[in-house]
Structure 1
Amino acid sequence: MALKVLSHDEGAPVGGCAASGCGSSTDRLAHLPEAIRAKVNNHPCFSEDAHHHYARMHVAVAPACNIQCHYCNRKYDCSNESRPGVVSEVLTPDQAVKKVMAVAAAIPQMTVLGIAGPGDPLANPARTLETFRQLSEKAPDIKLCVSTNGLALPAVVDELCKHNIEHVTITINCVDPDVGAKIYPWIFWNNRRIKGRRAAEILIEQQQKGLEMLVARGVLVKVNSVLIPGVNDEHLKEVSRVVKAKGAFLHNVMPLIAEAEHGTFYGIMGQRGPTTEELQALHDSCAGDMAMMRHCRQCRADAVGMLGEDRGHEFTLDKIEHLDIDYAEAMVRRAEVHSAIEANRTAQRRRTGETFVSLASLQRKIPVKPEPRPVLMAVATTGGGVIDQHFGHAREFLVYEASSQDVRFIGVRKVDQYCAGDTTCGEAETALHKTLRALDGCEVVLCSRIGYEPWSQLEAAGIAPNGEHALEPIEEAVTAVYREMAESGRLDRPIPEPQRMSA
């Protein structure tokens, strides 16, 4: 049973798990007006809790871009890759609308349609706005979003608001032109290519102006930033402070993707990406100024499905070309599914069985003990907010930090699938060793099932495998395991040292 402590003089919660779920985004956004929280309730990209239950999709209607970033190369495409700007086919507005309606009918938990590339949507205003115009008319139950670098944003804010765009993401990597000159080699502005510090200066000015205009019109703004070690890592704390002051409500700091095979300038020049520890440290240092998004998957510009999965291959143009979609009927079904999802979310919140007691009475009954240390736990899940995935089938793990105060989501760690039908023994061993490295710092792995070999390797690495909470809500299970660790005295001992793994 979860325990929440009330101050005897204020009668307000000062610890424990919130009724809406331990460490959920609802808690972190509690300072926002109810109307705003309602807007993000079923938005998987803006709400940490919603991403367990709802799907999103992106349509690639915007091929052109008006800036160049050292971390971007839109020409590369691999169906197995998740990276912003990557697409397999660019659509016309008509094709995009048909695809959206086909996906919404087939995946009723899809609530959000975003345009995010492969270039910049607002550098392609006619194609972007026509797509939004048709969707606001034909599929009014779908939330419409746009992601932009912000250079052309001020000029189209009024048009965006005409099409009921309530969520906009702006990528802001700096507020200092000297830093920006290291990230952006050029921009295309007023029919001219501008380079260097002046280019960054114009881009920053337009981004800040667009942000202020959107906030003034009641549009929710999320800011994306790419963490580039040695370039803007320390500076992003200032970015977070500035954009919060101007009304952005969520900050998503993403790790630089700079593999040389992607052909980006940073990749070719050997610029490294941040470590997991560096990314988490920056998230934590910015969290005091801004609500931080930690569940981002850095999706492709044609992504379809739940965060962490991509079903785009099921809805290519050749597969939807001859579909006859009755969207009025689909909307009825979608409403039923959304209602069931919300009922399930409510049930999960109530399952915690919270008991409220006064701080004074608790102090009389429990001797003072040192605060137990926090614990990182990795979770294998396919979605829905429950532990339902076999360890060997996971391609990513959600990492949570449990403490005596709450459970908070830390981030996502990508891994190679350990158990695959066409994988040889040697390849599986290599994948397992990579997974162990990816789970560095975690003390527990929660999954629905796990084989003997990975179980032994995890224990040798100082990570306790746990399959006892299959199909339970994630945060409830993490809380239960942490309580067991505290009651058994395991948290009084230092973090276990991993044994040396065999090569």
Structure 2
Amino acid sequence: MLTIAKSAGCASSSCGSSAKPDEMDSAVWEKIKDHPCYSEEAHHYFARLHVAVAPACNIQCNYCNRKYDCANESRPGVVSEKLTPDQARRRVIAVANEVPQLSVLGIAGPGDACYDWKKTKATFERVAREIRDIKLCISTNGLALADHVAELADMNVDHVTITINMVDPEIGAKIYPWIFYNHRRHTGIDAARILHKRQMLGLEMLTARGILTKINSVMIPSVNDEHLIEVNKWVKERGAFLHNVMPLISDPAHGTHFGLTGQRGPTALELKTLQDRLEGGAKLMRHCRQCRADAVGLLGEDRGKEFTIDQISDEITYDASKREAYREVVARERGDHVVAKSEAVATVKAAGSSKSLLIAVATKGGGRINEHFGHTTEFQVYEASQRGISFIGHRKVEQYCLGGRGADATLDSIIAALKGIDIVLCAKIGDCPKDQLAEAGIRAMDVYGYGYIETAISALYAAEFGSEPLAATA
């Protein structure tokens, strides 16, 4: 039996324990405090690495086409190079040596981590022997999950993501053409019924073991969008820690069945509306970036091109110094951020207004407004209301400023992506894009550059709905 020793971890002061929410169990906080996918707060500070060691898959999804060598695409199932377990070990060490924010190693395919189990297990064995404090997690469709729960627990894998898009096999038959189970292919409702039973069994077994589960669900308009309310109930009853509802990606260029048959994905407003309806059920994750199966870095960025296997020495060794130093810095920063966020939420609630603001923020991480408008490729979106300040999602955009100049067509697409946003906050913005955003009814400002996001939002909200009106520009 394989046993990977639990990390002794770092002292609580060096891991940012001061950021623990009052209502959260301490044992749960220890598991999620530096996991960027399981904690919205942690995603500002910590990075993940996916290694593409598991290409084989046992189901076919109508939204998936696992292409390779697509370095400019950012979607699940896509990788630039498949790795052996030994190559994956080298890549993890290379990233850990150069990306101090790294805290999590995940295996998310490009097929299924549980179906291609020997490679998944071998990779975890090799990495855990050398980097003992890295968190290990997998993503799976759940069909083969129950067969490996005991081994996952033995390896101290305490985070598992399961993609569950249905609990009604008739709806499942519209999403999954076939599955491969017990040495044969099943199709239609029969396939969906088997998949559903296996997914629920795997989830229940993980909950019984105390392993945290995140449920990913792809929102497919007119197929399972309304049904996801029922999915949310089922997974909550079976102990899921988070439910992540993601938009369908259905560009025909990707060659998926849904893309080629014209099935559209949801708009940002449709996604938010469904997520809002799910409040009160299983806890929602809203900061997902639908990462590639070989993603590297903070959520929202991908540094994979820096760590292709041809750039990494066969003799590479792990150096923990950068990661250890970074965690000391983060501990102090997170403590300050928590205090600032608490004060900001109190300010917003004290305004006593029933109105809300949607604010898009250009950020490179750290919970600060620290990205130039022209350099960002996504905006993080926050809502300020009488309930406080909440992160509600992100809007991906094309980079506006390339080679020192902005492109009008790109700005038009950014404005379209920011539909419904009231205010844009960034570290710097030029007069031209600011004026064009204003013409579209979006105020953009850089006066809060490099400050905490929540502090700026609270000042804007108080000025807008408190005793002093907010100026048209800043």
Q: TM-score, normalised by structure 2?
A: 0.92
**1:95 is matched with which residue: 67, 76, 87?**
87
Q: Structure 1: how far apart are the matches of 2:31 and 2:174?
A: 36
**1:415 is matched with which residue: 397, 419, 422?**
397
Once the two structures are superposed, the pairs formed by residues 118-197 of structure 1 within 5 Å of their partners are: 118-197=110-189
- The aligned counterpart of 1:341 is 330
- Pairwise CA RMSD: 2.2
Contact 2:352–2:386 (Cα < 8 Å) also in 1: no
Contact 1:76–1:262 (Cα < 8 Å) also in 2: no
Contact 2:60–2:176 (Cα < 8 Å) also in 1: yes
- The aligned counterpart of 2:231 is 239
- The aligned counterpart of 2:418 is 439
Q: Structure 2: how far apart are the matches of 1:61 and 1:351?
A: 41
Pair 1:46 & 2:38 matched? yes
Contact 1:392–1:450 (Cα < 8 Å) also in 2: yes
- The aligned counterpart of 1:393 is 375
CA offsets 1:126-159 (integer angstroms, 9 cap, x no match): 1001111122222111000000000000111111
Q: Structure 1: how far apart are the matches of 2:267 and 2:23?
A: 31
Once the two structures are superposed, the pairs formed by residues 357-372 of structure 1 within 5 Å of their partners are: 371-372=353-354
Number of equivalenced pairs = 454
Moved more, 220-229 or 136-145: 136-145
Pair 1:33 & 2:25 matched? yes
Q: What SS does the corresponding residue of 1:224 show, helix, strand or coil?
A: strand
- The aligned counterpart of 2:358 is 376
CA shift, 1:161, in A, is 1.2
Q: Moved runs in structure 1, 4+ residues, more than 6 A?
A: none
**2:305 is matched with which residue: 291, 294, 313?**
313
CA shift, 1:448, in A, is 0.7
Unaligned runs of 5+ in 2: 1-16
Q: Structure 1: how far apart are the matches of 2:170 and 2:306?
A: 44
Q: Structure 2: how far apart are the matches of 1:356 and 1:110?
A: 29
Unaligned runs of 5+ in 1: 1-18, 497-503
Q: Structure 1: how far apart are the matches of 2:381 and 2:72?
A: 22
CA offsets 1:225-270 (integer angstroms, 9 cap, x no match): 0000000000001101110110001000000000000000000000
- The aligned counterpart of 2:250 is 258
CA gap 1:31/1:182 in 2 versus in 1, 3 angstroms: farther
Moved more, 242-251 or 31-40: 31-40
CA shift, 1:78, in A, is 2.2
Once the two structures are superposed, the pairs formed by residues 279-358 of structure 1 within 5 Å of their partners are: 279-325=271-317, 327=318, 330-351=319-340, 354=343
Contact 2:380–2:394 (Cα < 8 Å) also in 1: yes
- The aligned counterpart of 1:405 is 387
CA shift, 1:76, in A, is 5.0
Amino acid at match of 2:393: G
Q: TM-score, normalised by structure 1?
A: 0.87
Amino acid at match of 1:335: E
Amino acid at match of 2:459: A
Once the two structures are superposed, the pairs formed by residues 4-43 of structure 1 within 5 Å of their partners are: 31-43=23-35
- The aligned counterpart of 1:269 is 261
Q: Structure 2: how far apart are the matches of 1:353 and 1:324?
A: 43
Pair 1:480 & 2:462 matched? no
CA shift, 1:338, in A, is 1.0
Instruction: Tell me the percent identity.
Output: 54
Q: Structure 1: how far apart are the matches of 2:28 and 2:56?
A: 32
Q: What SS does the corresponding residue of 1:252 show, helix, strand or coil?
A: strand
CA shift, 1:371, in A, is 2.9
Amino acid at match of 1:81: E
Q: Answer with 1 or 2: which has the greater Rg.
A: 1
CA shift, 1:422, in A, is 7.6
Q: What SS does the corresponding residue of 2:114 show, helix, strand or coil?
A: helix
- The aligned counterpart of 2:204 is 212
Amino acid at match of 1:341: V
Amino acid at match of 1:344: E
CA offsets 1:347-378 (integer angstroms, 9 cap, x no match): 12224584999xxxx9xxx9xx9734101001
Contact 1:68–1:186 (Cα < 8 Å) also in 2: yes
- The aligned counterpart of 2:9 is none
